[in-house]
């Protein structure tokens, strides 16, 4: 099942519990001009659950965006992945707090979490705090985060092929957010790309 939440347009739930063997893909989108605090907690209480969470935030001005996500694996044999990508410019601030909790008896859990941000200005701030709290010993879990600027070598390469700078930067941004937008319906994908 797919659920897409456009923050600031749709109401975002604060908590979900998965007690059925199901595949759930959640996508959270924060468009330019939206400031929001998004707390979200999901409990996995059944083996065989496959959870995918995607997040995208485009904050080019003075937006304040904060994600506070907790995924709890209470039983073993389930899978979760979180992929968050953001582009932050102007004086905007983006924060990601993520916790993956694996209970003592939740053996054979697979849980992955990543948050990556691109800064477009010196005044932009992106903070990331991914965390793992694991009490089982037979698991596959990882987390990671990066924050940086658009790659100057890539930009030089594109410019040397005759691509104007603004278009080259847009191509870099599209490539950066593609792991999230590739899961969206075409119409929504076009809306996002038109705002870059």
User: 1: how many CB neighbours lie within 10 A of its CB?
Assistant: 7
Question: Which one, of 52, 25, 44, lies nearest residue 109 by Cα?
Answer: 44
Q: pLDDT tens digits for 125-179?
A: 999 999 999 999 999 999 999 999 998 898 888 889 999 999 999 999 999 999 9
Question: Which one, of 6, 30, 26, lies nearest residue 18 by Cα?
Answer: 26
Q: pLDDT tens digits for 103-128?
A: 999 999 999 999 999 999 999 999 99
Predicted TM-score (pTM) of the model is 0.93
List the Cα angle 104/105/110 in 5-degree steps.
90
């Amino acid at each position: 099942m797919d659920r897409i939440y456009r923050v600031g347009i749709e109401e975002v739930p604060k908590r979900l519990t998965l007690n059925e063997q199901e595949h759930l893909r959640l996508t959270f989108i924060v468009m330019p001009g939206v400031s929001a605090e998004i707390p979200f907690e999901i409990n996995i209480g059944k083996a065989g659950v496959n959870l995918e969470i995607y997040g995208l935030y485009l904050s080019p001005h003075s937006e304040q965006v904060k994600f506070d996500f907790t995924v709890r694996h209470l039983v073993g044999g389930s899978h979760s992945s979180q992929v968050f990508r953001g582009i932050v410019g102007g004086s905007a601030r983006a924060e990601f707090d993520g916790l993956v909790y694996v209970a003592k008896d939740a053996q054979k859990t697979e849980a992955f979490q990543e948050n990556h941000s691109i800064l477009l200005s010196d005044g932009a701030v992106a903070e990331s705090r991914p965390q793992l709290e694991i009490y089982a010993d037979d698991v596959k879990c990882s987390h990671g985060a990066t924050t940086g600027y658009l790659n100057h070598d890539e930009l030089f390469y594109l410019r040397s092929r005759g691509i104007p700078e603004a278009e080259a930067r847009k191509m870099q941004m599209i490539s950066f957010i593609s792991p999230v937008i590739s899961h969206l319906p075409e119409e929504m994908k076009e809306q996002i790309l038109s705002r870059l």
